[in-house]
């Protein structure tokens, strides 16, 4: 019987994409480690809200086994908008969402991050790890060099670092 070695998977970025990727991998029995430059989960404000569509964000959360909890936290009414007159507080504009807009409910970024972080095996995310470079031969392994001087080897590197 031949055994296949367990791949070493490094995910760079602990945003929604990286956290969801790690959750799906773990749910399928595959370990992954996330490296993020933030010093911890409370390092910075996560910003406003995201609306997750059925065909992508919600599909990923379903694969991650988190769709039901997402649905409990999300706000489909987040698509409704009102604009008031500053002088007398009368409504100048009121947008009622269509049925299609209810299929993309909003969730606070912080709530989504907490949902994803709490679903991972403890120790999955390594905080305070700023990636400096990645090197290695085409066939691997890759070496991730961090600004603190540490080096990690991985068989697969997944870039999920948002703006970068």
Q: Render pLDDT for 1-45 as a digit per residue (tens, 0 to 9).
A: 666 678 899 999 999 999 999 999 999 999 999 999 999 888 776
- Of 46-50, 78-82, 132-136, the range with the highest mean pLDDT is 132-136
pLDDT at 81 over 60: yes
How far apart CA 77 and CA 99 sit, in angstroms, is 11
pLDDT score for 100: 56
How far apart CA 43 and CA 34 sit, in angstroms, is 16
pLDDT score for 139: 85
pLDDT score for 153: 97
pLDDT-based confidence at residue 84 (cuts at 50, 70, 90): confident
Q: What are 139-148's contacts with CB under 8 Å, separation 24+?
A: 141/8, 142/10, 144/10, 144/12, 144/35, 146/35
**Residue range 9-159, CATH number:** 3.50.50.60
pLDDT-based confidence at residue 59 (cuts at 50, 70, 90): very high
Segment 84-92 mean pLDDT: 83
Task: Identify the three-state secondary structure at position 15.
Answer: coil
Task: Identify the three-state secondary structure at position 26.
Answer: helix
pLDDT score for 96: 65
pLDDT at 85 over 60: yes
How far apart CA 71 and CA 61 sit, in angstroms, is 10
User: How many other β-carbons are positioned within 10 Å of the β-carbon of residue 74?
Assistant: 23
Q: Render pLDDT for 90-147 as a digit per residue (tens, 0 to 9).
A: 888 776 666 555 566 788 888 999 999 999 999 999 999 999 999 999 888 999 999 9
Please give the span between the terminal C-alpha atoms of the chain, in angstroms, as a whole number.
Answer: 43
pLDDT score for 44: 72
How far apart CA 35 and CA 151 sit, in angstroms, is 12
Task: Identify which of 142, 164, 160, 161 has the alpha carbon closest to the alpha carbon of residue 152.
Answer: 142
Give yes or no for a contact between 102 and 96, defined as CB atoms under 8 angstroms apart.
Answer: no
pLDDT score for 86: 83
Give yes or no for a contact between 18 and 12, defined as CB atoms under 8 angstroms apart.
Answer: yes
- Tell me the domain boundaries of the chain: 9-159
């Amino acid at each position: 019987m031949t055994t296949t070695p367990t791949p070493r998977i490094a995910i760079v970025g602990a945003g929604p994409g990286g956290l969801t990727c790690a959750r799906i991998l773990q749910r399928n029995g595959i370990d992954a480690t996330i490296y993020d430059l933030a010093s911890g989960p409370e390092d910075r404000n996560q910003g406003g809200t995201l609306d997750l569509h059925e065909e992508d964000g919600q599909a990923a959360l379903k694969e991650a086994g988190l769709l039901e909890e997402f649905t409990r936290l999300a706000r489909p009414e987040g698509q409704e908008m009102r604009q008031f007159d500053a002088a007398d507080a009368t409504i100048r504009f009121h947008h009622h969402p269509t049925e299609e807009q209810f299929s993309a409910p909003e969730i606070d970024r912080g709530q989504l991050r907490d949902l994803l972080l709490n679903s991972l095996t403890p120790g999955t995310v390594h905080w305070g790890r700023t990636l400096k470079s990645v090197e290695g031969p085409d066939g691997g392994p890759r070496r991730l060099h961090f600004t603190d001087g540490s080096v990690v080897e991985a068989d697969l590197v997944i870039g999920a670092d948002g703006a970068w």
